Chains A and B, each alone.
Chain A
Amino acid sequence: MSVVAHLPHRTPTLTDTEAAHPPALELTGRRPLTAEERRTAETIFGEFRADGRYREYVLGCLNCGECTTGCPAARFYDFSPREMLQIAAVGDATTLWDAMQEKIWACCQCYTCNMRCRFGNDIAGIISVMRELSVRHGLESTRRVLAPFNRSLTLLMTVGTQVASDMIQPDFFRDWGPFAAAGEKSWDADPHLLRQAIPIDVLQTTTSSWEVSVQTSLELFRIYEEAGVLDMLRGLDPDLTEMLIDIIEERREEFEEARTRYHSQLAAMHGPVATFSG
C-alpha cells in the first residue's frame, strides 16, 4: 500500500516509487541512514500519517509563532512547537526520523502551544503520537532517553503510581526530601517514621505513593495487557516487561491466598460472593 494513499486531505500525486523513497533533506554533515534505519523511518512515517489522530491534530499553520512564544522547551533546547508542527505537516520520512531522535523529548507537554494555536492544531498531541511511535519501534535513541525510567515504570505498571517516597535518597533526589530546607544536618530523618506521621492510613508507606489494593493493581495490569501497552513496552525493553509480568504473577498469587484466608470472614460479612476474573 502506498504511503501516499494514507495522506489525508491530499490527492495522491506522487508515483508509488517516489512515495517509497520520498525526497529527503540530507543536511550537510549528517550521517546518512543505514538501509535498515531507512526502512524503519519509512514504516514509521507511514504509520504516523495513517494514525487517526494525525488528521485531527495537524490542520495547518500560519507560522505565527504564538505556540513557541509560551513554550518552555524553546527557551532551553533547539526546539520549537512551530518547527515540530511543520515537520508533522510537510516533513518526509527522514525529517520525521531526525526529529524523533531527540527533539520530541524536549517537549514539556504543558499544552501552552495548543491553547495559543489560532489554527486549532494539537501540537502537544502530535508530539505524543511521535513519541508513541518511537517507543513502539524501540528506537535506540528512545531507549537511551527512557533508561532512567525503569524504576518509575515498574511502579506505574504494577501499582499505577509514578513515584514513591523511597526514591528520595541521600544521593538521589536529595533536594526533594523532608527537611531539605533545614540543611544537611537534618537529613537523618527516618523516612518510615515520617511517612507514619502523615495522618492518612494509605499514605503510611514508602514503597508507593499510597498503598494500592492488590485487586486494583491486577485490574490495572489487565488494562495494560488488553490495550497493548505491554506489547509496546516489550519493543522498548523486553527484560523489564518480563520482570513486570513476574511481579504481577506474584501479586496474583498473593490475591488468591488472601481470598482463601478471608473467605469465611467475607462470606459472613457480605453473603455468597462471585469470582474475580482478573
Chain B
Amino acid sequence: MNPVLVLGGGPAGLSAAAELASLGAPVLLVEKEEYWGGNPRRWHYSLLAPDLLPAEEVLNPLVSRVEGAPLIERHLRTTVSRVEPLSSGFRVELKGPETSGWREVSSVVLATGFDHFDSRRKYEYGYGRYPDVIDFKEFEGMIHDDRLTRPSDGALPKRIAWLLCVGSRDVQVGNPWCCRMGCAVSIKQAVEVRQKHPEIDTYVYYMDIRTYGLWEDLYWKSMNEYGVKFIRGRIGQITQAEGGKRLLATGEDTILSRPTEVPFDMIVLASGMEPGTGTKEAAQLFGLPVGPEGFLTPKLSDLNPVESGHPGIFLAGAATGPKAIPDAVTEGMGAALRAYKHARG
C-alpha cells in the first residue's frame, strides 16, 4: 500500500497522521515550516481557550505521537511542487532538504491551515507605525514568555485594550467572515494578564461576543472573577497621545451611545483568520474549488466536511475555514479514516 500524503503539520495534519498510523497505514507527512505544530507553535500560543490549558500540553502529545510512529515518514521544510493523477492515487513531487523527487501516494489529506490577517491592512489602527499596537498573535508569545512590557519603552503597561474583529467581518478589507476564535482568545489573554498582574486595567472593545457554546463560561468568568471590562463598540482609529507616550483609542460606546477617547499603554488587535498561503497553493496544485472567502470547500459541508469531492483528496482543519484546535484535531481524525478507506480501495 502506498503511503497517504498528509500535507501540513499543524494540529489537523498531526492528528490525521497519528490516526492513520494507528490504523496501520503508512504516512508521508510534509510540512513547509521547520517545526511541527502550525500557527500555535509559530506564534508561541500561550494558554488555549477555553480550558486555559498550556498550548504545549496539547501540541506536545500530538507531536510525540507522530514522532513515535514508525509508519510515519516525516519531512519538515518540504513542499509539494507538482501533482499527477494515477489510476488510483497520485504521483507527487516533493522538494525539501531531506527528500526530493517523485513519490506515489494512495490518497491525500490537505491540512494546510490558515494565516492570521495582516493588521497593517487596517491602516487606521497604526499597526506597524506605533510599536505599542500589537497583534494578538504576537501578544500570545509575550504572555507565554512572561514579558508583558511595552515595546516602546519596556515599561509594564497600566491599561490594555483588546480590539476584536480586526480583519474579520469587514468588507473594507474584503473579509466578511467571522474568525470564531478572536473573542475567546482575546478574553483569555485579558484573563491571563489579570491573573499575573491584577493591577493592570483591561478593556475589551467588541461588537458581538462570540464565545460560542460552552466557551461562554470564559466570557462570564472574565468579568465576575477577573474584572475584565467590556465596551460594546469598536475603536475606529488609533493615534498617539501625550506626545507619543500613550495610544489614544477613539471609538463609540454603543450602549451609552457616545463617542469615547481613552488613552491606553497597549492595544491588542484580534486579527482574523484568512486562508493560509499553503491552502491557496494546495487549491491551485490539486485544482480544487475555493469559496468566495478563499478557503477550500468540502463537497458536502454538512454531511461530509472532510471530503473534497475529488476522489482521494480529503480536507481537515482551518484549510476549510476558521476552526478551533479541538475541531481541527477531530477533522484530522475524520479525514484519516476516509483517506484510509480510500487507500484500502
Contacts and interface: CB of A to CB of B under 8 A. Distances in A.
Interface of A: 62-71, 74-75, 80, 82-83, 116-120
Interface string B267-304: 00000000000000000000000000000000000000
A64 to B, nearest CB: 4
Contacts of A83: 257
A182 to B, nearest CB: 33
A36 to B, nearest CB: 32
A120 B172 contact: yes
A68 B171 contact: no
B251 A69 contact: yes
Contacts of B257: 80, 83
B52 interface: no
B171 A119 contact: yes
B252 A80 contact: yes
B88 to A, nearest CB: 48
A236 B259 CA distance: 35
Interface string B230-265: 000111110000000000001111100111000000
Given A70-B236, A118-B170, A118-B172, A63 B254 contact: yes
Interface in B181-209: 207-208
Given A118-B172, A120-B172, A65 B251 contact: yes
Contacts of A66: 234-236, 251-252
5 contacts: A63-B233, A64-B233, A66-B252, A69-B252, A118-B171
Interface string B143-163: 000000000000000000000
Interface of B: 124, 165, 169-172, 207-208, 233-237, 250-254, 257-259
A110 to B, nearest CB: 13
Contact of B237 (A70, A118, A120): A70
B208 A62 contact: yes
A71 B171 CA distance: 20
Given A69-B252, A80-B257, A82-B252, A62 B172 contact: no
Given A62-B207, A69-B235, A120-B171, A82 B259 contact: no
Contacts of B258: 74
B177 to A, nearest CB: 12
Contact of B254 (A65, A71, A117): A65
B42 to A, nearest CB: 28
